[in-house]
Amino acid sequence: MAATFPAAMTTSIRLHVRAPLAAGAAVDCGTAQSRYLRTVMRRSTGDAVLLFNGEDGEWQATIETAARDSMRLICRRRTRPQDVAPDVWLAFALLKRDATDLAVRQATELGVARIMPVLTDHGQAARVNTDRLLAIIIEAAEQSERLTLPALSPPVTLTDLLAAWPGDRQLLAAIERLGSRALPAMVGPPCGLLVGPEGGFSARERAQLLRHPAVRALSLGSCVLRAETAIVAGLAQLLCSGTDDGTAAPLPSSAGDR
Amino acid sequence: MAATFPAAMTTSIRLHVRAPLAAGAAVDCGTAQSRYLRTVMRRSTGDAVLLFNGEDGEWQATIETAARDSMRLICRRRTRPQDVAPDVWLAFALLKRDATDLAVRQATELGVARIMPVLTDHGQAARVNTDRLLAIIIEAAEQSERLTLPALSPPVTLTDLLAAWPGDRQLLAAIERLGSRALPAMVGPPCGLLVGPEGGFSARERAQLLRHPAVRALSLGSCVLRAETAIVAGLAQLLCSGTDDGTAAPLPSSAGDR
């Protein structure tokens, strides 16, 4: 079946690296990436890999030397210029581990610029495994063809989040059963989405939110969503709708595989 | 901690039943629901439970008799009138089991009217466990406060899906890298969302989509989304945006817990 996949599915390995990228630059991969390339993806000397570091765009590099635990790659040509993630932040009450992992992965895929775990009165977790979340972020960025990594903030209480929230940035809060109207068309970056825990915000927290000048209510429809669903649904409204001219978008009369 | 939850969190058990619901009507719960109420939720004679059947609205019922494997409930008062799910269908290529389960659960939460598994050239599964998916649908409907269950169609090939697709219903197709514009503002129910498999549509399938009169391209932003993320992001655009008057939605000056 693999033979019928689009070419991009089988040949494009994208890796996030920390080294500067430029024509002719050498990039030394560490143990984990080298083993991934050699053992999992069966790549060896001469094969092409895409690299990005969040600053220098995306580069096609070739493997120059491949040892057991190290590989050296040489940047050949820039395949995409650097871009900037839309200035949308996600603040969410920590969930159970699997749900937190899912939220971090999907928020990264959707292109969020900053991920901010929040400690709330009814939260389901009080600690974050930063290393695991960073690994999830990097893998999601590699697979989703992002050129940046979202910043991961250390967990803060809702009180501290609101106290430090920038005055010029709307915070769209998905508050259950508040009966708000739909997202106004004018809302866009810079902004943030706030999603509470499964148990909802406490009365104290709701009062904090209601009196904060940056907070606006975000309606996500008539049903009660789980937190991880609300995160994706809310981000989709802030990140995917983009601009359009109000007309239908007919399909092009032909389209290549890429 | 439970004492500080909103009242609705601790008292509202919602069950989907097949019996007719009306004032004074008796509803006999089967073994599974009776054991859930008695053993998991610790409910017994006199306690209140919310019931819905997809036709008669939501009713508060009380437990009249509670035996080991059976319970009889009596409908007391209607708490919500029946509504109709927005006329949005989801057609998606079968994914791996966990991803399919997640998509079905989240689509139900978001309020979709019909769930249509599709067999594609690059799909990751060819069979559906209908009983498991129905159980996921019922649980998600109960938790999300829906009053309906989405219909679950048997799996069909993409060819058959397109051949039988109603002419008056737009089908928004999330096709990777097609470079379409954002979702036009005029798109709304009745419509459908089509999300392909992780491997993408085959060239043959893309040609089928491109020439089908009901198909429109749906852009979900610049990143490449996993199928299950695309499903939620696409449905959020079709189901959550609703109507708005283009103005900001300030929070009310006060809000109760419900």
Residues A198-214 have pLDDT tens digits of: 888 999 999 999 999 99
Number of residues that make up chain B: 258
CA distance B242 to B214: 22
**Beta bridge mates, A248:** none
Q: Which two tokens stand for residue B192?
A: 């459908």
Comparing CB atoms, the residue among A183, A229, A235 nearest residue B241 is A183
Pairing outcome for strands A170-174 and A156-157: unpaired
Cβ contact, residue pair B233, A235, below 8 Å: yes
Which of A131, A129, A195, A185 minimizes the C-alpha distance to A158? A195
Per-residue pLDDT band for B199 (boundaries 50, 70, 90) equals confident
Q: Which two tokens stand for residue A195?
A: 């999603």
3-state secondary structure A48-71: EEEEECCCCCEEEEEEEEECCCCE
The 10s digit of each residue's pLDDT in A175-197 is 766 555 455 556 788 999 999 99
Which of B150, B177, B39, B144 minimizes the C-alpha distance to B86? B150
CA distance A71 to A38: 9
Q: Which residues of A touch B224 (CB under 8 A)?
A: 109, 143-145
Per-residue pLDDT band for A246 (boundaries 50, 70, 90) equals very low
- Residue A183's pLDDT is 55
Cβ contact, residue pair A206, B239, below 8 Å: no
Least confident of A55-69, B33-47, B123-137, B241-255: B241-255
Average pLDDT over chain A, rounded to an integer? 86
User: What is the domain partition of chain A in residue ranges?
Assistant: 11-80, 88-239
**Distance between alpha carbon B163 and the CA centroid of its chain, in Å?**
25
Decide if B46 contacts B80 (C-beta within 8 A).
no
Q: Which two tokens stand for residue B34?
A: 């009776």
Q: A11-80: which CATH number, 3.40.50.970, 2.40.240.20, 3.40.190.10, 2.40.170.20?
A: 2.40.240.20
Alpha-carbon separation of residue B188 from A187, B38, B104, B230 (angstroms): 20, 43, 21, 17
Cβ contact, residue pair A240, B248, below 8 Å: no
CA distance B60 to B40: 20
Q: Which residues of B touch A226 (CB under 8 A)?
A: 106, 109, 143-144
Q: Which fold has domain B12-80?
A: Ribosomal Protein L25; Chain P (2.40.240)
- Residue A141's pLDDT is 96
Q: Which two tokens stand for residue A151?
A: 């910043």
A46 CB within 8 Å of a chain B CB: no
Q: Which fold has domain B88-239?
A: Alpha/beta knot (3.40.1280)
CA distance B191 to B168: 8
Residue A251 has pLDDT above 90, yes or no: no
The 10s digit of each residue's pLDDT in B74-111 is 999 999 999 999 999 999 999 999 999 999 999 999 99
Surface-to-core class of residue A82, CB atoms within 10 Å of its CB (0-12 exposed, 13-18 middle, 19+ buried): middle
Across B20-99, the runs of DSSP E, i.e. the strands, are 26-29, 48-52, 58-66, 71-80, 88-93
- Residue B177's pLDDT is 60
For the residues B228-241, what does the mean pLDDT come to?
90
A80 CB within 8 Å of a chain B CB: no
- Residue A250's pLDDT is 44
B84 CB within 8 Å of a chain A CB: no
CA distance A187 to B238: 18
CA distance A28 to A25: 10
For the residues A134-160, what does the mean pLDDT come to?
96
A15 CB within 8 Å of a chain B CB: no
Residue B99 φ/ψ, nearest 5 degrees: -70, -40
CA distance A73 to B243: 52
Per-residue pLDDT band for A7 (boundaries 50, 70, 90) equals very low
Return residues 199-228 of B near A (CB < 8 Å): 199-200, 202-203, 206, 209-210, 215-217, 219-226
Q: Which residues of A touch B10 (CB under 8 A)?
A: none
Cβ contact, residue pair A233, B232, below 8 Å: yes
Regarding predicted confidence, which is higher, B2 or A102? A102
Per-residue pLDDT band for B248 (boundaries 50, 70, 90) equals very low
CA distance A221 to A232: 13
A122 CB within 8 Å of a chain B CB: yes
Number of H helices, E strands in chain B: 7, 12
Please give the radius of gyration of chain B, using alpha carbons only, rounded to the nearest integer.
21
B234 CB within 8 Å of a chain A CB: yes
**Cβ partners under 8 Å of residue A207, min gap 6:** none
Q: Which residues of B touch A123 (CB under 8 A)?
A: none
- Residue A152's pLDDT is 97
CA distance B124 to B197: 7
Residue A5 has pLDDT above 80, yes or no: no
B193 CB within 8 Å of a chain A CB: no
